[in-house]
Structure 1
Amino acid sequence: MPKRNSNMPKGRCTAYSYFVKSCRQEVTMQNPNAKVVFADFSKECAERWKSLDAEERKVFVAMSDEDKIRYDMEMDQFYRKGGVDPAAKKRKAKVDKKVKPAASAYSFFSKDIRPRMKADNPSLSTADVTKEVKRMWDNLDGRNKRQFESMAKEDAERYRQEVQWQKDREEAIRQAATSTSNYANTVYEYCESGSDADESAAENDDEY
């Protein structure tokens, strides 16, 4: 697991996390000196959370949404200053896995015939098996080759679709990142302008 960058902003708090904090405060207020068994407390919180309807969860969802704005703004500033998130690199590496190349008709034929040939001729070396498979392929008539050519055609289509899916996903991730960054900038600029307006208003009040 990649080590977290100590300069990164505090992670976003989920609605459930806020609910657990609320439960913890409730327990502390009712029994300040009571010892809380973490496993039992966690189980009780999970059960209570499941029993809440959408309206009852709304306050915690709102708190989480507000914290997301804070997190996005701070992460945007973190990246602007050249910060690096090791976990993000690992996630990107998973997304960027290469698509398996399309196999040729000969590859499908070799995959089909090689195990049987090796079983029937255990004394043959790998090189000799390869030579014999190649010879058999060259001597195979067109009718028998068609099934492997059909398999290769299907695999080529599979490859095309997976490559397109990979490109679409990368584009979606890029657009999502851009959208988040733009939203964070808008909120940040709004907060900055609001702060300036408050200072200006305060100065005007002082004049009176």
Structure 2
Amino acid sequence: MGKEAQLRPKVNVSSYIHFMLNYRNKFKEQQPNTYLGFKEFSRKCSEKWRSIPKHEKAKYEALAKLDKARYQEEMMNYMGKRRKRRKRDPQAPRQPPSSFLLFSLDHYAQLKQDNPDWSVVQVAKATGKMWSTTSNVDKQPYEQKAALLRAKYFEEMEAYRNQLQGRKRNFQLKK
């Protein structure tokens, strides 16, 4: 007989989810004939969660830590399928940059020079704000350049695909 498929371990849940499950069970015991929709129940549950003291939350946090440890242990022993990334063909043409990326490349050095203590993320945010406030007339050169690069990319891709098909034909003929 073949090997049995191993099921992926159930993901660990947060302390709030543990509280919510417990609260739902208590609510059902206290009021068995009362039905609350999800929206109403979750509202009541979140209000209750905010109102409980820290020492009571601690027991749910301990449950969450135990659950996380269980999940990590099961994942260590899990031998299921793992996705492999498809390798990029080095001969394939690279996708062209967008008009925004071309704009960013032009303005990055100046922003970094003006603000040397900024991180890459801060510079990127500032560039995004600049792009959004830039008029369409000022964006036009970047969009035209991006369109030219995109057209060139599609031509290169077509040539690349034809080259691949030629290789496949030659390979099939050699068999």
Q: TM-score, normalised by structure 1?
A: 0.38
Looking at CA atoms only, which structure, 1 or 2, has the larger radius of gyration? 1
The answer to which structure has the higher helix fraction is 1
